[in-house]
């Protein structure tokens, strides 16, 4: 089965700096890679996703890159703000197969004002 690894497990950055979280996956059949943000005690919320037919996607301060050959994808947050502090999870799945997601272990991001 799919195995998703995520690094780092914790990350602290100064407000305004960039944050990068990296994930690797093992199953070359995976073709959908969402990123979720989870605040303490709340549900995970989708913040951005990417499919295997593109290499990069951007939405305002958030971007995701995908390297299919190396089987890794990364989340980039620029101009970080305190409200970006949360736990971020990457996931990998194969579309149209019941959408089972394999989650990474999570990154706890702290943005220091």
Partner 1 sequence: GAVVSQHPSRVICKSGTSVKIECRSLDFQATTMFWYRQFPKKSLMLMATSNEGSKATYEQGVEKDKFLINHASLTLSTLTVTSAHPEDSSFYICSASGRDEQFFGPGTRLTVL
* Separation between Cα atoms, residue 107 and residue 4, nearest integer Å: 13
Beta bridge partners of 90: 35
For partner 1, which is the closer residue by CB, 38 or 65?
Answer: 38
How many residues touch partner 1 (CB under 8 A)? 25
For partner 1, which is the closer residue by CB, 36 or 73?
Answer: 36
DSSP letter (8 states) at residue 17: S
Residue 20 CB, nearest distance to partner 1 (Å)?
Answer: 19
The neighbour count for residue 52, using CB atoms within 10 Å, is 17
The neighbour count for residue 15, using CB atoms within 10 Å, is 13
Residue 95 CB, nearest distance to partner 1 (Å)?
Answer: 5
Q: According to CB under 8 A, which one of 26, 55, 105, 112 is a site residue for partner 1?
A: 105
For partner 1, which is the closer residue by CB, 98 or 113?
Answer: 98
Span 60-99, contacts to partner 1 by CB under 8 A: 87, 89, 93, 95-96, 98-99
Q: Exposed e or buried b for every residue in 91-109, given b needs 16+ CB within 10 A?
A: bbbbeeeeeebbbbebbeb
Burial of 79 (0-12, 13-18, 19+ CB in 10 A): exposed
**Residue 33 in the binding site for partner 1 (CB under 8 A):** no
The residues binding partner 1 (CB under 8 A) are: 32, 34, 36, 41-46, 49, 87, 89, 93, 95-96, 98-106, 108
């Amino acid at each position: 089965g799919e195995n998703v690894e995520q690094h780092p497990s914790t990350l602290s950055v100064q407000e305004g700096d960039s944050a990068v979280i990296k994930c690797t996956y093992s199953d070359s059949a995976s073709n959908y890679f969402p990123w979720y943000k989870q605040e303490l005690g709340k549900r995970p919320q989708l913040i951005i996703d990417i499919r295997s037919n593109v290499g990069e996607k951007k939405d305002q301060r958030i971007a995701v890159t995908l390297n299919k050959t190396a089987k890794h994808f990364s989340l980039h947050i620029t101009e970080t703000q305190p409200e970006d502090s949360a736990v971020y999870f990457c996931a990998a799945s194969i579309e149209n197969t019941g959408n089972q997601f394999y989650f990474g272990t999570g990154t706890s991001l702290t943005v220091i004002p």
